[in-house]
Each structure stands twice: as structure tokens, then as C-alpha cells.
Amino acid sequence: MSMAATPLLRNRAEAFPSPALRGAIEVPGDKSMSHRALILGALADGTTRIAGLLEGRDVLHTAEAVRRFGATAERIAPGAWHVTGTRWRSPVIPVDCGNSGTGVRLLMGAAAGFSLAALFTGDRSLSKRPMERVLDPLRAMGAGFDASEGGRLPVRLRGGTLGGLCFRNERASAQVKSAILLAGLQAQGEVEVVEPVPTRDHMENMLRAFGCEVEICDEADGRHIRLGGRRALAATSVRIPGDPSSAAFPLVAGLLVPGSEIILRSVMVNPLRAGLFATLAEMGADLRLDDARSMSGEQVADIKVRFGPLHGVVVPAERAPSMIDEYPILAVAAAFATGRTVMHGLAELRVKESDRLAAIVAGLRACGVDAWDEGDTLILEGCGGPPPGGADVAAHDDHRIAMSFLVLGLASQNPVSVDSAGMIATSFPGFAMLMRSLGARIS
Ligand code: S3P
């Protein structure tokens, strides 16, 4: 993808800093659920109706991918999609997953049990990310994969008959677990994933909604997730709530910009995604979850946030899977806090859309914050108020790094710009507009 037309976003200097943020907004649908709804719909018997699908670039690549495997995916209205499943067949052209690690890894699992050949590709960032984490277990089930050097994309799949697998998910990756469960839908034999630390369980919840038998049992060595004998999927209706990983940006902005008070409606608050809320509460944040309810098997609430002081905390490594995508924006919140914040267990941040640990440290330093990494730990000294800011931050074509530093710039002493903002549309189309609707000065 060419970066030539990538817009540059900045906090508008002539109207700086942002006035108090006020209002009630809904963020776009959850990305993890959106990928899963399209893929399960494409495997199910009948037509699945999806409401609230995230129409970010990552998910649109998955929609195109399931079409290439023979399914039908039609956009009926904004966020409303109909997906009709089929037996997957060989795509005639490569399956381009764009920037999406979730898309490519889940699709490789879903396709592995069909008698087909496929070539998976991705953009520059995705082509640097490790794929062996899913290729190894899928090979152990019987799938054939030829990867490029270092286990990277492009990856060629020769799918076929699969056997069972019992896999210990030491890396605490929901993508790996989900790829194995998807492959297991076509496999003969027992398929079980054991999680020493549980990861997001949207795949388990959604498989059940599509009629697949999934047993979940907490034992001494971790959580056991087992596919039952009934693995055929029947089309259903899925309503996708707001993405907590996207809600995190306006939420933290509301905590940092003086006088702010905002409401984020219909945000998914699955406990395995709620690590950021718990951490911010420990830091003294004024945030409240109201009107808890359920939507398509997931917990949903309205989140009310008010500006207020924060203090530094130690975030334990075990919490990482429940907030793995939220560390960049947590680091921004910690930069305004009083005292030191230490975040442990961040090794996986090195292999996200960018080396996020390095990108956070460099961005914070450019904004005048004392921050450093020690192995897989991030340490930063909070400024006890607005940090200096005033930098053009390198976003490394990473949507979450770009959004995090734009939020920092809403309340720092000097405006901040980011060198590339085009990638924000992979997960949060309309980010700048939605923030402006709350009063944020971003242009
Ligand atoms: C995701 C799992 C996480 C997360 C990603 C979405 C998913 O990745 O970072 O944005 O939908 O399963 P890992 O499984 O690599 O931790």
C-alpha cells in the first residue's frame, strides 16, 4: 500500500489546547468479533445477518478473503452485512489480508481443513510479522504450509484432511487459539486448547451462537477449551457492540483533557478485554460502567468518564492478554499521572503492527516524557500533569500509535503531530471526526 497520500494529523495549533470534551458517542464495532462473524458466516450453512460490522480496512480485507474462498459477503447498509457460507475452494488469486494479523491467522486456520490451495499475502508490516505460531499447530493437525523466510508471508497453504490436536497456548494468543478451533471444525478427532492465562473468548462465544459444541473447563493447569462432537455451523444473526480497544482513545482523552465529561455508548466489556478499565480504575480514574446488558453473547455497557488526576501503578504481566492492544494509550495516560508506572510482560508488543514497545518509548521521549524499556517491561515517570509535547511523532504506520499520540497532544503543553495517520482507518474509520464531535481540536 502506498503511503504517499497518507494524511498527517495534528492537534490544531491555533486552537490549542482542546477545550473540555463533552457528549455521548458510539465507537465502531469490535474488530475481533467482526473478523470472526464474517469467517463463521462464510463456513455456516445458510445466510448470517451481521449488524454493526466494523467497516475498517482490516475487516474489509477479511470480507474480500471469504469471497475468494467461495462464500458470499454482501453489504446491505452501513454495518449491515449478509454472509452465505459454502465449502471453501481454492481462490484463483492470492488472499491479500492487508495489515491484519487477526485476519490472516484466522483465515489460515479456517481454510486448512478444506481440500484447496491458497496463497496468503499482506502489506509491508504484516509481511514482517511471525506466522509460525499458527503454522506449527496447524501443521501438527495435518495442513501443509510453505512460508517465506523466517516463517513470514507470503505463505502457501495446501489444505486437506486434518486430525485432532491438544495445544498449550503458552503465548496467550487469542489468534492462535482461534485458528486451531477454526481448523478443528473440519478435523477428525479431539481438538483442545489449554490456556495457562485465558485470552479473549469471542471465538468460543460465537462458535456456540452458530450451534457448535464448545466445552470450557477451568482446571489446575489452566482453562481447557474443547470442541465437542457437534461442529456443523448454522447461520445466525450477530449484533456487534462497540470495540473497547477503539473506545480506549476517547476514554483516555476524557480523563486527560481538563473539564471533560463523556459517555461511550454500547461498548463491549467482556472481562477478558477489560484490563485497561481495571488499570485506569487503579490509577484513580473517574470512570463508571452503566446499564450493563448482553448483546450477541457478549457483555456490553455505557461508559461514563470524567477528567481527574491519575497516579502511577504497576501493571502485572498476567493482565497483558486482557489489554494487549491498549498499552500505547495506557502509556499516554501514565505520562500525565503522578509517579512512576511500570508495565510488565510486554514481549508480544514487539511483534504487533510495529515494534510497539520501541514506538511508545520513542514517542514519549520525543514528547518530553522520561520513559524506557528493560527487556519486556516498560517504565515511565509520570509528569504529574501535562507533558511538554510539541513533537512530530513517528507512528511507524501503526494505527494505535498514531491515535495514542494524537490523544496525548490534546492535553499536552504544546501540540503534537503524527507522521502518518492513514493507517487509523484499518481499525477506527472516522476517528478524527468522532473526536472532533466531542470538541477535540484535531485536523
Ligand atoms: C486478537 C488478538 C490479539 C490482539 C489483536 C486481535 C484477536 O492478538 O492483539 O488485535 O482478535 O484474536 P494476539 O492473539 O496475537 O495476542
CA of 105 to the centre of ligand 1 (A): 10
Catalytic residue among 96, 325, 397, 398: 325
The alpha carbon torsion through 62, 63, 69, 70 (nearest 10 deg) reads 170
Residue 80 predicted with pLDDT over 50: yes
- pLDDT at residue 15 above 80? no
Residue 4 clears pLDDT 70, i.e. is over it: no
Whether the CB of 174 sits within 6 Å of ligand 1? yes
Q: Is the Cβ atom of 246 under 6 angstroms away from ligand 1?
A: no
103 Cα: distance to centroid of ligand 1 (angstroms)? 10
Task: Name the residue of 30, 31, 32 to mutate for ligand 1: max ligand atoms within 8 A of Cβ.
Answer: 32
Q: What pLDDT does residue 285 have?
A: 98
DSSP characters for 98-110?
TT-HHHHHHHHHH
The pLDDT tens digits for 161-205 are: 999 999 999 999 999 999 999 999 999 999 999 999 999 999 999
Question: From the alpha carbon of 325, which atom of ligand 1 is closest?
Answer: 9
How far apart are alpha carbons 418 and 249 in whole angstroms?
A: 15
Grid coordinates representing 273? 478485554
Res 11: pLDDT: 78
Shortest CA distance to 418 belongs to which of 391, 435, 393? 393
pLDDT band at 3 (very low <50, low <70, confident <90, very high): very low
Assess whether 221 carries a catalytic annotation.
Answer: no
Q: What pTM does this model have?
A: 0.97
Give Cα separations from 87 to 40, 74, 115, 369 (angstroms).
12, 18, 9, 53
Over residues 395-407, the mean pLDDT reads 97
The tens digit of pLDDT for each residue in 138-171 reads: 999 999 999 999 999 999 999 999 999 999 999 9
What's residue 10's pLDDT?
A: 85
Domains of the chain (ranges plus CATH)? 8-29+241-437 (3.65.10.10), 31-239 (3.65.10.10)
Beta-carbon contacts of 94 under 8 Å, excluding residues fewer than 6 positions away, are: 118, 119, 120, 121, 154
The protein residue with its alpha carbon nearest to ligand 1, atom 10, reads 325
Going by alpha carbons, the residue nearest to atom 16 of ligand 1 is 173
What residue type is 311 in one-letter code? H
Name the DSSP letter for residue 27.
Answer: P
Non-local CB neighbours of 260 within 8 Å, separated by 6+ positions: 20, 21, 22, 253, 254, 305, 306, 307, 438
27-49 burial string, b = 16+ CB within 10 Å, else e? bbbbbbbbbbbbbbbbbbeeebb
Distance of CA 174 to the CA centre of its chain: 10
pLDDT digits (tens, 9 = 90+) for 257-310: 999 999 999 999 999 999 999 999 999 999 999 999 999 999 999 999 999 999
Say what the pLDDT of residue 297 is: 94
* pLDDT confidence tier of residue 2, bands split at 50, 70 and 90: very low
Å from CA of 295 to ligand 1 middle: 21
CA of 406 to the centre of ligand 1 (A): 23
Gap between the Cα atoms of 56 and 25, Å rounded: 18
CA of 203 to the centre of ligand 1 (A): 12
Mutate to test the pocket of ligand 1, among 102, 133, 203, 206 (most ligand atoms within 8 A of CB): 102
- At residue 1 the predicted structure's pLDDT band, cuts being 50, 70 and 90, is very low
Going from the Cα of 389 to the center of ligand 1, the distance in angstroms, rounded, reads 30
What pLDDT score was predicted for residue 431?
A: 98
Nearest to 170, CA basis, from 192, 197, 204, 201: 197
Ligand 1 and 102: CB distance under 6 A = yes
* Lowest mean pLDDT segment, chosen from 104-113, 152-161, 413-422: 413-422
| pLDDT tens digits, one per residue of 360-392 | 999 999 999 999 999 999 999 999 999 999 999
Q: Is the pLDDT of residue 6 over 80?
A: no
Q: Is the pLDDT of residue 7 over 80?
A: no
Residue listed under C-alpha cell 494529523: 9
For residue 419 and ligand 1, the question of a CB distance below 6 A is answered with no
Pocket probe mutation, ligand 1, options 35, 59, 167, 173, max atoms within 8 Å of Cβ: 173
Write down the mean pLDDT value for the chain: 96
